[in-house]
Amino acid sequence: MDELDVEIVRLLQTDARQSNRELARKLGIAPSTCLERVRTLTRRGVLRGYHADVSLPALNRGVQAFVSVKLRVPSRPFIDAFKDFASRLPEVLSVFVISGDDDFLLHVAVQDLEHLHAVLVDRLSKRREVAGFRTSVIFQQVRNTVLDRLDAPAPAP
């Protein structure tokens, strides 16, 4: 990625709804050049989509938690089956397959603690492949929605 690509990504992270013409104006390039650059970034997988930032409390999902899940047997068939199951739960926002003592980290959002308890007891604990889980309620979240220094090299070991 050159400097222009980095600036395109930075501007789109700030406001993905701006028109190609507006983006080109901010960059000081022709709209056709801007459009081709954005298309190339999309083809290369740098830009994967444009998303609305939704307020979870406004959707009656004000309680969030991380649920660490340990499987009885962490083999590929069990990992794949649990990953498929968890990703279909409407309360689950993200499923992470992780290393360490646990096998999964689930980010869930529900309306209240009673619903969180129901997800844990009525859904997770009934799965035979689940050996156990730990839950951490999220009190506050700070999200960095703009990746700065996209052109910075990785730190030396």
Span 28-46, pLDDT tens digits: 999 999 999 999 999 999 9
One domain for residues 68 and 96: yes
Q: Give me the residues paired with residue 108 across strands.
A: 65, 92
Is 147 a domain residue?
Answer: no
One domain for residues 37 and 107: no
One domain for residues 92 and 134: yes
**Which CATH number do you get for residue 19?**
1.10.10.10
One domain for residues 71 and 10: no
Does the predicted model carry a pTM greater than 0.85? no
Q: What is the DSSP string of 9-40?
A: HHHHHH-TTS-HHHHHHHHTS-HHHHHHHHHH
One domain for residues 18 and 64: no
Which strands sit side by side in the sheet containing 104-110, from one edge to the other?
92-97, 104-110, 63-71, 130-138
Is 48 a domain residue?
Answer: no
Read off the pLDDT band of 114 (50, 70, 90): very high
One domain for residues 12 and 68: no
Is 64 a domain residue?
Answer: yes
One domain for residues 78 and 132: yes
pLDDT for 152: 55
Based on the structure, what is the number of domains in the chain? 2
Is 52 a domain residue?
Answer: no
Is 102 a domain residue?
Answer: yes
Examine the pLDDT at 92 and tell me if it is beyond 90.
yes
Examine the pLDDT at 115 and tell me if it is beyond 60.
yes
Q: Give me the residues paired with residue 94 across strands.
A: 107
One domain for residues 132 and 72: yes
Between CA 133 and CA 119 the distance in angstroms is 12
Residue-range definition of the domain harbouring residue 39: 3-43
Tens digits of per-residue pLDDT, 119-147? 999 999 999 999 999 999 999 998 877 77
What mean pLDDT value characterizes the chain?
Answer: 92
One domain for residues 65 and 130: yes
